[in-house]
Amino acid sequence: MPDDVCDETLKIGVVVGKKYRVIQQLGQGGCGSVYKVEDIEDKTKQYAMKVEFNSNANAGNVLKMEVQILTHLVSKNHVAKCMASGKKDRYSYVVMTLLGESLESLMKKHGPFFNVSTQMRIGICLLFGIKQIHDIGFIHRDLKPANVALGNKGSPDERYFIVLDFGLARQYITDKEDGKKMRRPREKALFRGTSRYCSVAMHDRFEQGRVDDLWALIYMLAELRCQLAWSDLDDKVEIGEMKRHVADQNLFAKSPIQMLEFVKIVRATQFYHRPDYEKLFNLLNDAMKSAKYKWSDPYHWEPEKRKKKPSVPAVGNVPRKGVTPPSNEEVDFFTVDDFNTNPLGF
């Protein structure tokens, strides 16, 4: 067995890619492990490294998709960045941005439910993240609280929620000589995702499209305010039936009224339709504005008297060069311009 591997885990202290030293194991799953690593030349630079051991039946497939998507997202905002990737005798690896606490962890520690201000801000962040993925021609197919995390403390993204873990993602476009087009849906598809959050269409084994990621967002946002009716169930068929029959008013009984229109828009979106991200953003943003919530407000798990830091400008709201906004000006993290672009044209 190589010196850097011990019982299908990497030894603490081993250097990977002649640059990254393993300093801590962060987690372990069915496909491999995640580690915190540091730059051997600058220990202040720390990253996350995903490792997939070749003994796994699907060895290489998950990380290959991860690297492919991270590479496409390199120019996007509020996403994890790929620093390096490679393949060794016993494992493949990808080094990426180290993120903060997952939404799943925050829900376990400070939940089960969050206030509406937190719910709406999480919703806008995730809607933006979902659109970023869709705009490069992929769908996530496994959105859930465990696959969402805050940016790392001290980083510019420390108050943004970022979508991660693209192992089950799928490209929904073809890129040929005659241009980019949507792939035709398969008549039947294998189950992909998590039964608690996936769409009814996935329960019926239909091909997932952009709209199905939005259904996962709907169930995640609903769960931030009340327990999902199927949260104690394991059987996929039973869960699918409950989703099929749950009333929108019950799903969002403790959420802003705008969520009813949000669900209505998503329900009317078909496989080939481009979701109306702009309209969905406007609904979440209106829920915030009408209740006078601010992006600088403490999140549900933060102390009420959290010392306010200067708000981070939205992607489309960065001050012009040489112009410094007043320090007491409240700046939104996102604007409508972040949601109305359509780079693919369909």
Active site residues: 142
Residue 61: per-residue pLDDT: 78
218-256 burial: b if 16+ Cβ within 10 Å, else e:
bbbbbbbbbebbbeebeeeeebbeebeeeebeebbeebb
Q: Which residues, including other chains, have CB under 8 Å from residue 19's CB and lie 6 or more apart?
A: 39, 40, 41, 84
**Structural domains in the chain plus CATH codes:** 18-97 (3.30.200.20), 100-291 (1.10.510.10)
Q: What are 233-288's pLDDT values in tens digits?
A: 999 999 999 999 999 999 999 999 999 999 999 999 999 999 999 999 999 999 99
pLDDT band at 206 (very low <50, low <70, confident <90, very high): very high
On whether the CB atoms of residues 195 and 205 are closer than 8 A, the answer is: no
Q: What are 30-54's pLDDT values in tens digits?
A: 668 999 999 999 999 999 999 998 8
Among candidate residues 126, 305, 94, 309, the one with its CA nearest the CA of residue 221:
126
Number of C-beta neighbours around residue 6 at 10 A: 12
Q: What are 144-198's pLDDT values in tens digits?
A: 999 999 999 999 999 999 999 999 999 999 988 778 899 999 999 999 999 999 9
146: DSSP letter: G
pTM of the model: 0.90
